Structure 1
């Protein structure tokens, strides 16, 4: 009567112990929601699993800084650049394509997709496996006799080695369609690889144009500084000759201080633009490549081609459209493969075995992905070959659901292709419109800068001759600075718009 109670108590204690093992993992989390986590660390500062090493000190400001892992305290080696060479845009793009981590990730994705296609093609080959198993068997049998029950203990031992072959010979195109689907996915991955390079070219180009604009603004403000110095010198000269006033000198001094502030800000913007360019390339800022100056040149007439011609040439080679087309074909192949799963399959199965000892083994259990080997021959040496047909009859609707999913995916893939085409047209039209506006703004900014230069020259000359005011000279100098900066920004914006249109039309490259 006490044995069942003891067994129940033992089972209850065991269950409680197992439950405690699961909830004890809460010690790995921070103990409180409003106190810092104090992790356990190794001798090198590496955070290791475990409960908090010590509670956070009470009454002191919360410190949420983490320990220093000395194994990570190393700066990546800067990219090898020629410190005496001024890099052009094409050279920076080439450097980005070889060092940017995004292009390598896209390359690895394409390689994995190619390997997936190879895995699918391997389904045409036979599956051959070898297995060996040795063991010891012990049994007890009992039989009634006239003298009572007679018990016999028996033990055997032995080993079995098996070489088996399984080969799917015919499946009504199921494997062929699966291979076709994986090959289309590989094509899509290769297209994504090209798209990653196009995106890298675009990002480096935009960063390069922004840096050139920032560099131009820095040079413009230096010229403005010289102009402000000239106005201040003229004001001081007029004051010393008794024809100027203290107010004129103060206004000229204020104008120079404002120009100096603009110069500091322009230099900071140039530094920020340089770091953004280095980041777009994908190299360490410690590399410090020298950037060549970009000459100002007019835009070619090709950028003003008709929108219909641009759209027709773009829609057929944009990576997103090509990838969507490959995805649609892959989905259609999966539908055919799902339909073929309803049809019979012809297979070949063979094995040869060798048994030693006295044990009787009828099957070798499965290991991992290897199926079990059953119906082994009871002879010391044995071999069997079977040719058979398997016909699916009922699976609870599993294949029907898989076919419905494949058809839904194919319908979605077709819709994505239509959407990609529509989006490509929208992007091309928007990019073309932006380019036309940017070119017009560039032309207007150039005219404004030319007029502002004429105004400043006249205002400064008039002030030096005593027929103009210092206010007019300062105003003309500030307007000239703004006009030149606007011209630099407009030219950079037009180049960026041209690069964006090239990306939208999938014609972007280092030489465009």
Structure 2
């Protein structure tokens, strides 16, 4: 009869279903049903805790998550002088100090620089120290009829080793790798500069957009004043008996419309202000007194000959410089892949010191030649120096595949450089055209505003004198508002186009209109 299963085996089999159920038991941490709110368990501060949902007695907030009071804090606002009016250059300084994009680019450049240092360490030898210690003990007992014997054995020892490995010559593989990471460092540093240029451009556009919104708000306020003047003139004509109720009603309607437009323009101005803060990387509740952009000159000389612009910019744009460095890095990686087919010469050294002892304690000797105790000790010091060469013979095509990859990446990098040049030329041409168009539009808008102002002033004066109708005056007032708005928008568009052209040419290193190098403060310029 075969023996039955052992109790330990039966216990293990009984535990298997329970262990399998442990994974499925986490389902109770999920919501109870697809159409019922999830009520998570929370701490005293409202933090959501892992585990099953709260019990049914907890308040039901519907599909609203509990508020974590530890997160209900706003970021610390930047240091802003409340008595200072910040111009564009000052705003860019603040942005470069607080916008996380520039710091992310800075960290990326530092990380790549550290990688270049790691690559250079391959020229140095590798020195390793190792220490080992061990102990082993054993006890045994044996007997024969009339004789019994027992013994204790123990072993202990230590090994200390110092190893050196030094690659002496590899046919330029390490040099090629270092060249590749050095070019990657240049790419990262170019990215750091490009991040600042993009930030300056974004802040400049947001600043001009805010200035245009504020100008539209000012124009709406002036339009409201003009509408009230027309309403007062209509009322005065009616009081003198030369006006009609309809004219007064039309004037009141125009005043109400002007007031609505003024309220809407003020709201859009506030939105543009928040957008400017967002471009700077500042919290939306920050309060900054911002200067106007009206002091910036607009000259046709801002749009130069496009061929001259392209010639000066083609070797300065960050994307082209980065593409060129990436091509050089790919060429270096291709050289490193070729070196994998060649032998490598190295030297290796090792020094070791070991100690050990063996002790055996037994029963008294049975024979006359046996000693009851045996002690053995051992110490050894050794050193080895090796020089050699390794030559790869077969690796299943790995090196050839890696070389083919490197050649493909080099070709791709060369094509990327050509594409970057084409894209740069196209962007510069379009930005220059946009600047020329916006400058011409600004000049035409200035003439339009001047003519509309003259027309409205003349018609309002005539209307007050009893000549003309309220409808004609209101139309002139509306046209004047449109002319003012077109002029402010054209100015903002021209300034934005100038900043975009500077970005497209890679020359946007400071605030537009400010001499290079004059910006103080953080930013790495």
TM-score by length of 1: 0.88
Which residue is 2:259 aligned to?
260
- Offset of residue 263 of structure 1: 0.7
1:392-471 equivalent positions in 2, closer than 5 A: 392-471=392-471
Which residue is 1:292 aligned to?
291
Which residue is 1:362 aligned to?
none
Which deviations, in whole Å up to 9, do the C-alpha atoms of 1:102-143 show, x marking residues without a partner?
A: 11110010000100101111111111222222223357999x
* Partners of 2:299 and 2:181 in 1: CA distance: 43
- Offset of residue 43 of structure 1: 3.5
* Partners of 1:321 and 1:56 in 2: CA distance: 64
State whether residues 163 and 351 of structure 1, in contact with CA within 8 Å, keep that contact through their aligned partners in structure 2. yes
* Partners of 2:311 and 2:12 in 1: CA distance: 75
SS in 1 for 2:65: coil
* Partners of 2:383 and 2:299 in 1: CA distance: 78
Which deviations, in whole Å up to 9, do the C-alpha atoms of 1:473-503 show, x marking residues without a partner?
A: 1111111111101110011011101111110
- Offset of residue 15 of structure 1: 6.2
| 1:14 to 1:325, Cα distance in 2 relative to 1, 3 A | farther
| 1:418 to 1:270, Cα distance in 2 relative to 1, 3 A | same
Which residue is 1:110 aligned to?
109
- Offset of residue 53 of structure 1: 3.8
Which deviations, in whole Å up to 9, do the C-alpha atoms of 1:438-475 show, x marking residues without a partner?
A: 11211121111111111111211121111110011111
- Offset of residue 28 of structure 1: 5.0
Q: Which stretch has the larger CA shift, 338-347 or 34-43?
A: 34-43
Which residue is 1:374 aligned to?
none
State whether residues 231 and 248 of structure 2, in contact with CA within 8 Å, keep that contact through their aligned partners in structure 1. yes
| 1:4 to 1:312, Cα distance in 2 relative to 1, 3 A | farther
* Partners of 1:194 and 1:88 in 2: CA distance: 22
- Offset of residue 13 of structure 1: 6.0
| 1:3 to 1:204, Cα distance in 2 relative to 1, 3 A | farther
The structure with the largest alpha-carbon Rg is 2
Q: Which stretch has the larger CA shift, 288-297 or 12-21?
A: 12-21
1:465-504 equivalent positions in 2, closer than 5 A: 465-504=465-504
| 1:499 to 1:43, Cα distance in 2 relative to 1, 3 A | same
SS in 2 for 1:380: strand
| 1:27 to 1:347, Cα distance in 2 relative to 1, 3 A | farther
- Offset of residue 47 of structure 1: 3.2
* Partners of 1:277 and 1:104 in 2: CA distance: 19
- Offset of residue 55 of structure 1: 6.5
* Partners of 1:200 and 1:134 in 2: CA distance: 60
Which deviations, in whole Å up to 9, do the C-alpha atoms of 1:372-414 show, x marking residues without a partner?
A: xxxxxx9532222221212212222222222222222222211
* Partners of 1:389 and 1:379 in 2: CA distance: 33
* Partners of 2:347 and 2:15 in 1: CA distance: 49
SS in 2 for 1:416: helix
The answer to whether structure 1 residue 310 and structure 2 residue 315 are counterparts is: no
Which residue is 2:328 aligned to?
329
- Offset of residue 36 of structure 1: 3.3
| 1:115 to 1:212, Cα distance in 2 relative to 1, 3 A | same
TM-score by length of 2: 0.86
SS in 1 for 2:46: coil
Which residue is 2:381 aligned to?
381
Which residue is 1:244 aligned to?
243
State whether residues 136 and 156 of structure 2, in contact with CA within 8 Å, keep that contact through their aligned partners in structure 1. yes
| 1:4 to 1:131, Cα distance in 2 relative to 1, 3 A | farther
| 1:40 to 1:387, Cα distance in 2 relative to 1, 3 A | farther
SS in 2 for 1:286: coil
The answer to whether structure 1 residue 50 and structure 2 residue 51 are counterparts is: yes
* Partners of 2:476 and 2:261 in 1: CA distance: 16
* Partners of 1:37 and 1:84 in 2: CA distance: 50
| 1:134 to 1:102, Cα distance in 2 relative to 1, 3 A | same
Which deviations, in whole Å up to 9, do the C-alpha atoms of 1:210-263 show, x marking residues without a partner?
A: 111111111111111111111111111111111111111111111100000011
1:51-200 equivalent positions in 2, closer than 5 A: 51-54=52-55, 62-70=62-70, 72-137=71-136, 154-200=153-199
State whether residues 133 and 159 of structure 1, in contact with CA within 8 Å, keep that contact through their aligned partners in structure 2. yes
* Partners of 1:196 and 1:397 in 2: CA distance: 41
* Partners of 1:131 and 1:269 in 2: CA distance: 71
Structure 2: tracts of 5 or more residues without a match: 359-377, 514-525
Which residue is 1:364 aligned to?
none
Structure 1: tracts of 5 or more residues without a match: 360-377
* Partners of 1:114 and 1:68 in 2: CA distance: 40
**Aligned positions, number:** 493
- Offset of residue 17 of structure 1: 5.8
Which residue is 2:337 aligned to?
338
* Partners of 2:57 and 2:423 in 1: CA distance: 55
* Partners of 1:39 and 1:477 in 2: CA distance: 61
* Partners of 2:25 and 2:496 in 1: CA distance: 58
State whether residues 38 and 56 of structure 1, in contact with CA within 8 Å, keep that contact through their aligned partners in structure 2. no
Q: Which stretch has the larger CA shift, 93-102 or 184-193?
A: 93-102
Which residue is 1:372 aligned to?
none
* Partners of 1:171 and 1:141 in 2: CA distance: 57
- Offset of residue 91 of structure 1: 1.2
Q: CA RMSD in A?
A: 3.0
- Offset of residue 39 of structure 1: 3.3
| 1:389 to 1:21, Cα distance in 2 relative to 1, 3 A | farther
